A = this chain, B = another copy of it.
Protein backbone atom coordinates (compact mmCIF):
# COMPACT_ATOMS: atom_id res chain seq x y z
CA UNK A 1 0.00 0.00 0.00
CA UNK A 2 1.26 3.47 -0.85
CA UNK A 3 1.16 6.48 1.44
CA UNK A 4 -1.20 8.09 -1.07
CA UNK A 5 -3.63 5.18 -0.77
CA UNK A 6 -3.61 5.41 3.02
CA UNK A 7 -4.19 9.17 2.94
CA UNK A 8 -7.09 8.78 0.51
CA UNK A 9 -8.72 6.06 2.63
CA UNK A 10 -8.29 8.11 5.80
CA UNK A 11 -9.85 11.12 4.07
CA UNK A 12 -12.85 8.95 3.19
CA UNK A 13 -12.98 7.76 6.79
CA UNK A 14 -12.97 11.35 8.07
CA UNK A 15 -15.74 12.27 5.65
CA UNK A 16 -18.02 9.73 7.36
CA UNK A 17 -17.77 11.64 10.62
CA UNK A 18 -17.89 15.05 8.95
CA UNK A 19 -21.09 14.04 7.12
CA UNK A 20 -22.69 12.83 10.33
CA UNK A 21 -21.63 15.94 12.28
CA UNK A 22 -23.03 18.17 9.54
CA UNK A 23 -26.15 15.99 9.20
CA UNK A 24 -25.39 15.94 5.47
CA UNK A 25 -27.22 12.95 4.02
CA UNK A 26 -26.00 13.77 0.50
CA UNK A 27 -22.37 13.36 1.52
CA UNK A 28 -23.28 10.23 3.50
CA UNK A 29 -25.06 8.88 0.44
CA UNK A 30 -22.04 9.59 -1.80
CA UNK A 31 -19.77 7.82 0.66
CA UNK A 32 -21.66 4.53 0.92
CA UNK A 33 -21.06 2.03 -1.84
CA UNK A 34 -23.70 1.59 -4.52
CA UNK A 35 -24.20 -0.44 -7.68
CA UNK A 36 -23.56 -4.18 -7.50
CA UNK A 37 -22.23 -3.92 -3.95
CA UNK A 38 -25.31 -2.12 -2.56
CA UNK A 39 -26.79 -5.30 -1.15
CA UNK A 40 -23.50 -6.20 0.56
CA UNK A 41 -23.23 -2.92 2.49
CA UNK A 42 -23.34 -3.55 6.22
CA UNK A 43 -23.70 -1.14 9.13
CA UNK A 44 -23.64 -1.85 12.86
CA UNK A 45 -24.41 1.15 15.06
CA UNK A 46 -23.16 0.70 18.65
CA UNK A 47 -25.13 -2.00 20.45
CA UNK A 48 -27.56 -2.43 17.55
CA UNK A 49 -28.37 -5.18 15.13
CA UNK A 50 -26.62 -5.20 11.75
CA UNK A 51 -28.33 -3.27 8.98
CA UNK A 52 -27.69 -4.77 5.55
CA UNK A 53 -28.17 -2.98 2.24
CA UNK A 54 -27.50 0.56 1.13
CA UNK A 55 -31.08 1.87 1.33
CA UNK A 56 -31.74 0.59 4.85
CA UNK A 57 -28.38 1.92 6.00
CA UNK A 58 -29.01 5.40 4.62
CA UNK A 59 -32.43 5.42 6.27
CA UNK A 60 -30.76 4.64 9.61
CA UNK A 61 -28.34 7.55 9.21
CA UNK A 62 -31.20 9.89 8.25
CA UNK A 63 -32.99 8.86 11.45
CA UNK A 64 -29.85 9.37 13.54
CA UNK A 65 -29.30 12.79 12.01
CA UNK A 66 -32.91 13.78 12.68
CA UNK A 67 -32.64 12.73 16.32
CA UNK A 68 -29.35 14.43 17.10
CA UNK A 69 -29.20 18.14 17.85
CA UNK A 70 -25.49 18.46 18.51
CA UNK A 71 -22.73 16.07 17.60
CA UNK A 72 -18.97 16.23 17.64
CA UNK A 73 -16.55 13.42 16.85
CA UNK A 74 -12.92 13.24 17.82
CA UNK A 75 -11.54 10.22 16.02
CA UNK A 76 -8.36 8.74 17.50
CA UNK A 77 -6.09 5.70 17.16
CA UNK A 78 -6.71 5.44 13.43
CA UNK A 79 -4.96 2.47 11.81
CA UNK A 80 -5.34 1.79 8.10
CA UNK A 81 -4.49 -1.17 5.91
CA UNK A 82 -4.86 -1.15 2.15
CA UNK A 83 -4.52 -4.04 -0.29
CA UNK A 84 -5.43 -3.34 -3.89
CA UNK A 85 -8.93 -1.91 -3.88
CA UNK A 86 -9.86 -3.04 -0.35
CA UNK A 87 -9.08 -1.02 2.77
CA UNK A 88 -9.85 -1.42 6.46
CA UNK A 89 -9.66 1.37 9.02
CA UNK A 90 -9.87 0.78 12.76
CA UNK A 91 -10.37 3.78 15.01
CA UNK A 92 -11.93 5.07 18.21
CA UNK A 93 -14.90 7.43 17.96
CA UNK A 94 -14.97 9.87 20.87
CA UNK A 95 -18.40 11.44 20.71
CA UNK A 96 -20.00 14.45 22.30
CA UNK A 97 -23.71 14.50 21.52
CA UNK A 98 -27.09 15.84 22.47
CA UNK A 99 -30.54 14.85 21.31
CA UNK A 100 -32.10 18.09 22.55
CA UNK A 101 -34.24 18.86 25.60
CA UNK A 102 -35.01 15.27 26.44
CA UNK A 103 -31.49 14.04 25.89
CA UNK A 104 -28.84 16.18 27.55
CA UNK A 105 -25.26 16.54 26.37
CA UNK A 106 -23.29 13.37 26.89
CA UNK A 107 -19.90 11.94 26.05
CA UNK A 108 -19.35 8.46 24.74
CA UNK A 109 -16.91 6.28 22.96
CA UNK A 110 -17.19 3.59 20.32
CA UNK A 111 -14.64 1.22 18.82
CA UNK A 112 -14.97 1.06 15.09
CA UNK A 113 -13.98 -0.94 12.05
CA UNK A 114 -14.71 0.71 8.71
CA UNK A 115 -14.25 -1.15 5.43
CA UNK A 116 -13.86 0.51 2.02
CA UNK A 117 -13.72 -0.58 -1.60
CA UNK A 118 -12.16 1.57 -4.31
CA UNK A 119 -14.65 1.88 -7.17
CA UNK A 120 -13.71 3.93 -10.24
CA UNK A 121 -10.86 5.47 -8.23
CA UNK A 122 -13.05 6.52 -5.29
CA UNK A 123 -13.01 4.89 -1.84
CA UNK A 124 -16.57 3.94 -0.93
CA UNK A 125 -17.74 2.76 2.47
CA UNK A 126 -19.00 -0.80 2.45
CA UNK A 127 -18.76 -1.74 6.14
CA UNK A 128 -19.26 0.32 9.29
CA UNK A 129 -19.03 -1.62 12.54
CA UNK A 130 -19.09 0.41 15.75
CA UNK A 131 -19.30 -1.13 19.20
CA UNK A 132 -19.98 0.33 22.62
CA UNK A 133 -17.54 0.09 25.50
CA UNK A 134 -19.63 -1.18 28.41
CA UNK A 135 -18.61 -0.37 31.95
CA UNK A 136 -19.18 -3.96 32.98
CA UNK A 137 -18.72 -6.13 29.93
CA UNK A 138 -19.05 -9.28 32.04
CA UNK A 139 -22.80 -8.71 32.09
CA UNK A 140 -22.84 -9.71 28.44
CA UNK A 141 -22.96 -13.35 27.47
CA UNK A 142 -20.31 -14.44 25.09
CA UNK A 143 -16.60 -14.20 24.69
CA UNK A 144 -15.72 -11.18 26.78
CA UNK A 145 -13.17 -11.52 29.59
Identical chains bound together, number: 2
| Contact residues of A between 27 and 83, Cβ < 8 Å to B | 40, 42, 44-50, 60, 63-64, 67, 77, 79, 81, 83
Query: Contact at A111–B44, with CB atoms within 8 Å?
Result: yes
Bitwise interface map of A from 123 to 145 toward B, beta carbon under 8 Å scored 1, else 0? 00011011111100101111111
Cβ-closest chain B residue relative to A43? B143
Q: Does A106 contact B (CB under 8 A)?
A: yes
Bitwise interface map of A from 90 to 112 toward B, beta carbon under 8 Å scored 1, else 0? 10110101000000001111110
Residues in B whose Cβ lies below 8 Å from that of A144: 45-48, 64
What is the bound-complex CA distance between A90 and B142, given in angstroms?
17
How many residues of A sit at the interface, in one of the four size bands? 35 or more
A134/B132 contact (C-beta < 8 A), A88-B86, A88-B127, A141-B97 known: yes
Q: How many whole Å from A137's CB to the nearest CB in chain B?
A: 4
A141/B107 contact (C-beta < 8 A), A50-B92, A86-B88, A133-B48 known: yes
Contacting A50 at CB < 8 Å: which of B47, B106, B108, B111?
Answer: B111
What is the bound-complex CA distance between A120 and B144, given in angstroms?
31
Cβ-closest chain B residue relative to A115? B88
Cβ-closest chain B residue relative to A129? B113
Query: Contact at A145–B46, with CB atoms within 8 Å?
Result: no
Q: A47-B144, A60-B145, A86-B88 are in contact. List 20 more A-B contacts (CB 8 A).
A: A45-B142, A45-B144, A46-B143, A46-B144, A47-B131, A47-B132, A47-B139, A48-B133, A49-B111, A63-B145, A81-B126, A95-B142, A95-B143, A107-B141, A113-B115, A129-B129, A130-B131, A131-B132, A132-B134, A132-B142
